[in-house]
Amino acid sequence: MRTTVAALVGAALLTGATACSGETPAAPAVKPVAETEVAGPAASGDQPKGITYDVKRIPLGAKLSTGSSVAGGRTTVELKVSGLQPDTKYGSHVHTKPCGAKPADSGPHYQNEKDPVAPSVDPKYANAQNEIWLDFTTDAQGAATATATVNWEFRKGEANAVIIHATHSSTEHGKAGTAGDRLACLTAQF
């Protein structure tokens, strides 16, 4: 779904937000894409929308939701989580394929400019401006919200899941974009 400039201005007026000359207006509110409680992966056949691959770090029944908005060629993606381990750092990225029984089934990170080398660990491609990074730290109740805004739009049909990883994303050359094991997956077609 796309948000028009008129809707953005109307939302700014309703909330009392202002945009001065030279300032970038706030991103429009995200529209829900997917929300679920996580389950374990199915042995075969249809997969649940939300899957945990590590029940200690992402317990069964934890809640994951994501949404996005597009305005003026910019994309904003939001991830909300609850029921995770309290006061814990996690990494999170948009991936190319839907969730599957195995953590790797969701494919690589979605990249605006695709790295010709896979897996992508070159900071020229694996960075928060070329990918959607939604790293977060949970609060004392195991909840968090992460938001990322980039200056591009998803290619239709190429962004299909949000993966939660074991650590925040690395920016180090040769490890850029890595964030440890894939702990959970939320199928979400952006």
- CB contact at 8 A, 138 and 90: yes
Given strand 89-95, what is the order of strands in its sheet? 50-52, 182-187, 161-165, 89-95, 136-137
Confidence of residue 46 (pLDDT cuts 50, 70, 90): confident
Confidence of residue 4 (pLDDT cuts 50, 70, 90): very low
- At residue 21, does pLDDT exceed 90? no
By CB atoms closer than 10 A (0-12, 13-18, 19+), residue 10 is: exposed
Lowest-pLDDT range, 13-22, 78-87, 168-177?
A: 13-22
Helices and strands in the chain: count of H runs, count of E runs: 1, 9
Identify the CATH class of 31-187.
mainly beta
Decide which of 14 and 56 is more confident. Answer: 56
Question: Looking up tokens 């977060």, which residue turns up?
Answer: 136
Domain ranges in the chain? 31-187
Task: Encode pLDDT of 67-126 as tens digits.
Answer: 999 999 999 999 999 999 999 999 999 999 999 999 999 999 999 999 999 999 999 999
Q: What percent of the chain has pLDDT over 70?
A: 84
Whole-model pTM? 0.83
